[in-house]
């Protein structure tokens, strides 16, 4: 036993000495050449966890992002060797035996996650694949998200998971294979009746929602799995409760229904319309700090309603359309109000830019990106919604839209121009092509409405023009329901 203790003391001293190597990156290639990497990594599994903890701390220094970026090739040689000699699976396996009720072990977990974060920053694609597919890290992270009282390591676990899922592909696949969405829904459900209690917990909750968004955006099957895990019902409840999570829940709901007919239908079945339109009607003065969050919420609400219009039919579609008819067309008034808000903002922003850059030539791509930064997407959603409700064959809705636009010194011509700009800048992927078809149809109907002179008061032709609509405007025939 005495000899054993002596050997551990020697190992401890060697590890301490190696801290000097970590501070001298020019020695990294020599460290690798001397084949010191494998013996060092073997100590991660040392039966004395104090030794293991010291090695983890040393590896954190070796993988430091600033060191890797500043030292270039020297640091890359060591990093490549560490990865090749199985540092990642050894660290993940070691996580399982650390007891976070002990302060030293808790710090070792934090340092291990720090190493993973470093790897994700300097070699994101390699690190993401190895962490998510060649280890049990996904399972460990999902368990850690729900373990005990909220703490710093729980926050860190959510950050690592969010970073992994942002890479998409194999990381998202590994996540879904671990029933990740279902387990995340359970984590988020804890905030159905309470708000986060600290800034760190706020960040934790935001990370959870971002993880869900990353997964939903990766594959349609994930949208269906989310609904099966009662995710839609939970998001609708959170929107209705108006707690801190409302904005994040609307974002998730938007991603859940995007190009997904069955989720749009299930949203109606879960009494989602009332919650969504309550958020849509939200008004009031807010602080500058909350302004950006509220406008992001408006964007997601508008996009969500557009998706419902595009994918619903029959009774569900009529229930949606009726929302714009009820209570004296108050939803129409709110829609035109939002249209004016974003239209005016874009005009003001462009005038300001021209004043500050009077001699700068116009670059169309830069102009479009600048407009997006100033709320163009929300304006496009407003314009598309206006076009969809005007083409629905409801004369009362149509006449109220025209009246309100005229009061704002605007018209359906402005709406049409916005949609034409949207159409011209859509991507050529499957989703972009589908939206182009919808835009083509509503622009044709707007042309018919403008051609009948209906904006100026019209005549008998109005009903024929405005009644041409719902399915055609929304790009019928609709997609088949997902299996």
b/e map of 110-125 (b: 16 or more CB within 10 Å)?
bbbbbbbbbbbebbee
Joined tokens for residue 392: 């629905």
Give the Cα-Cα-Cα angle 406, 282, 243 (nearest 5 degrees): 165
Cβ contact 191:245 at 8 Å: yes
Residue carrying structure tokens 């997904």: 260
Determine the pLDDT at residue 103. Answer: 93
Which residues in the chain show pLDDT less than 50? 1, 3-4, 285-287, 454-469, 476-483
Cβ contact 297:247 at 8 Å: yes
- pTM for this predicted structure: 0.86
Identify which of 330, 212, 232, 226 has the alpha carbon closest to the alpha carbon of residue 278. 330
Count of beta carbons in the 10 Å neighbourhood of residue 199: 8
Joined tokens for residue 430: 């499957």
b/e map of 12-51 (b: 16 or more CB within 10 Å)?
eeebeebeebbeebebbbebbeeeebeebbebbebeebeb
**Exposure of 322 in the CB half-sphere (CA atoms within 13 A):** 9
Joined tokens for residue 268: 């109606």
Give the Cα separation of 150 and 276 in Å (integer): 31
Which of the 8 DSSP states describes residue 479?
Answer: P
Give the Cα separation of 96 and 89 in Å (integer): 11
Determine the pLDDT at residue 471. Answer: 56
Give the Cα separation of 234 and 231 in Å (integer): 5
Determine the pLDDT at residue 299. Answer: 92
Give the Cα separation of 217 and 212 in Å (integer): 9
Question: Phi-psi bin for 410: left (phi > 0), alpha (psi -120 to 50), beta?
Answer: beta
**Exposure of 129 in the CB half-sphere (CA atoms within 13 A):** 5
Identify which of 77, 78, 91, 89 has the alpha carbon closest to the alpha carbon of residue 44. 91
Q: What are the Cα distances from residue 35, in Å, to 39, 78, 132, 364? A: 8, 11, 28, 56
Determine the pLDDT at residue 460. Answer: 38
Give the Cα-Cα-Cα angle 15, 18, 21 (nearest 5 degrees): 165
Give the Cα separation of 244 and 448 in Å (integer): 45
């Amino acid at each position: 036993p005495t000899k054993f203790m002596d050997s551990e003391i020697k190992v401890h001293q060697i590890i301490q000495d190696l801290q000097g190597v970590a501070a001298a990156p020019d020695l990294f290639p020599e460290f690798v050449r001397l084949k010191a990497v494998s013996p060092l990594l073997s100590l991660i599994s040392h039966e004395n966890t104090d030794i293991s903890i010291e090695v983890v701390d040393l590896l954190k220094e070796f993988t430091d992002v600033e060191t890797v970026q500043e030292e270039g090739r020297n640091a890359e040689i060591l990093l490549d060797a560490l990865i090749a000699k199985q540092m990642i699976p050894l660290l993940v396996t070691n996580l399982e035996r650390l007891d976070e009720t002990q302060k030293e072990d808790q710090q070792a977990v934090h340092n291990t996650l720090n190493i993973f974060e470093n790897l994700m920053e300097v070699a994101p694609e390699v690190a993401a694949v190895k962490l998510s597919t060649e280890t049990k890290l996904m399972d460990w992270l999902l368990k850690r998200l729900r373990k005990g009282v909220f703490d710093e390591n729980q926050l860190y676990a959510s950050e690592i998971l969010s970073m992994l899922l942002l890479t998409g592909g194999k990381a998202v696949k590994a996540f879904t294979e671990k029933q990740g969405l279902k387990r995340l829904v359970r984590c988020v459900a804890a905030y159905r009746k309470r708000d986060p209690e600290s800034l760190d917990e706020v960040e934790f909750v935001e990370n959870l929602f971002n993880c869900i968004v990353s997964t939903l955006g990766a594959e349609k099957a994930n949208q269906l799995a989310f609904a099966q895990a009662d995710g839609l019902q939970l998001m609708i409840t959170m929107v209705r409760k108006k707690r801190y999570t409302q904005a994040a829940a609307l974002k998730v709901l938007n991603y859940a229904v995007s190009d997904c007919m069955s989720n749009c239908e299930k949203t109606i079945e879960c009494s989602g319309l009332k919650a969504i339109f309550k958020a849509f009607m939200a008004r009031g003065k807010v602080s500058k700090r909350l302004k950006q969050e509220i406008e992001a919420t408006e964007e997601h609400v508008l996009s969500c309603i557009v998706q419902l219009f595009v994918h619903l039919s029959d009774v569900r579609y009529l229930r949606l359309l009726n929302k714009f008819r009820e209570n004296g067309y108050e939803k129409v008034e709110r829609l035109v109000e939002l249209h004016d808000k974003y239209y005016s903002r874009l005009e003001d922003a462009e005038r300001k830019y021209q004043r500050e850059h009077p001699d700068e030539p116009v670059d169309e791509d830069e102009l479009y990106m600048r407009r997006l930064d100033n709320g163009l997407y929300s304006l496009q959603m407003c314009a598309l919604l206006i076009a969809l409700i005007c083409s629905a064959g409801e004369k009362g809705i149509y006449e109220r839209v025209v009246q309100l636009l005229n009061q704002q010194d605007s018209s359906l011509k402005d709406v049409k121009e916005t949609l034409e700009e949207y159409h011209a800048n859509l991507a050529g992927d499957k989703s972009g092509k589908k939206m182009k078809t919808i835009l083509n149809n509503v622009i044709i109907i707007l042309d018919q409405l403008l051609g009948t002179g209906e904006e100026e008061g019209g005549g008998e032709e109005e009903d024929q023009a405005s009644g041409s609509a719902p399915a055609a405007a929304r790009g019928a025939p609709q997609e088949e329901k997902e299996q």
